[in-house]
Homo-oligomer: A and B are copies of this chain.
Amino acid sequence: MAEVEKLYVTYNEVHKLCQESAARILADINPQLMIAIGGGGYVPARILRSFLRQTGRPNIPIQAIGLSLYESLPETTNNATPGVPEVPGTRVTRTQWLDMSALGGMENIVGKRVLIVDEVDDTRTTLEYAVKELEKDVEAARQRLGSNEKTEFSIFVLHNKDKQKKGFLPKEMIDSGRYIAARTLGDAWINYPWEAVDIDEHDRLAAEAASRNAK
């Protein structure tokens, strides 16, 4: 990993990435529900909600789901130190799923435009899992309803790593512009601010990198 570029993203950069993507998300997707993949999707989803809010309309509801990627050998990948990004794994485990009881049940997602939010698209394993499992649940609800309505899932991530993916998303989603990454970059090691032990040092490293890149 020694050769991999380390990227330090500040909170204000995360805020601005959400802000600049909001116009495109409203125009191209106009979501009626957000699903935040926790923990990484919590911060961008909350920020995005502020920018997606439209005059005279209530906030877009956020549902949180919890997904974790584990390595085959979990014992060896227990990076207990904040500041050390978690090693991406291969097996997805749920810690929380949708609870639509307060929003009219799963039937109420049928026919809606749903935006899935996460911080990073690394191997794409988690996103593939989320889309497939959500589509399965929605399809079951659609059949219960006997409805013909199509549910449109879209994705927003702060960063997409341009690398060989292990997971796959529906071609139609990507072709129709329903996959939005605020930034696409190489296989960098991304340090998000909510993982920083020392946020001032984190910001200093981000500023240093910015001034190096400006030269």
Q: List residues of A whose CB falls within 8 A of some B CB.
A: 10-12, 15-16, 19, 36, 38-40, 42-43, 45-47, 49-51, 53-59, 61-64, 66, 68, 74, 78, 80-82, 93-99, 101-103, 193-197, 199-200, 203
Given A46-B42, A199-B12, A200-B12, do A80 and B53 touch, yes or no (CB 8 Å)? yes
- A196 CB to closest chain B CB, in angstroms? 7
Q: Which of B16, B19, B82, B99 contacts A99 (CB 8 A)?
A: B99
Flag if A95 contacts B103 (CB, 8 Å).
Answer: yes
Flag if A97 contacts B96 (CB, 8 Å).
Answer: no
Given A12-B11, A63-B96, do A58 and B42 touch, yes or no (CB 8 Å)? no
Q: Which residue of B lies closest to A198 (CB)?
A: B19
A49 to B86, CA, bound (A): 13
Q: Which of B45, B81, B203 contacts A12 (CB 8 A)?
A: B203
Flag if B80 contacts A199 (CB, 8 Å).
Answer: no
Q: Which of B45, B57, B81, B194 contacts A15 (CB 8 A)?
A: B194
Flag if A64 contacts B36 (CB, 8 Å).
Answer: yes
Flag if B12 contacts A46 (CB, 8 Å).
Answer: no
A55 to B79, CA, bound (A): 8
- A119 CB to closest chain B CB, in angstroms? 10
- A8 CB to closest chain B CB, in angstroms? 13
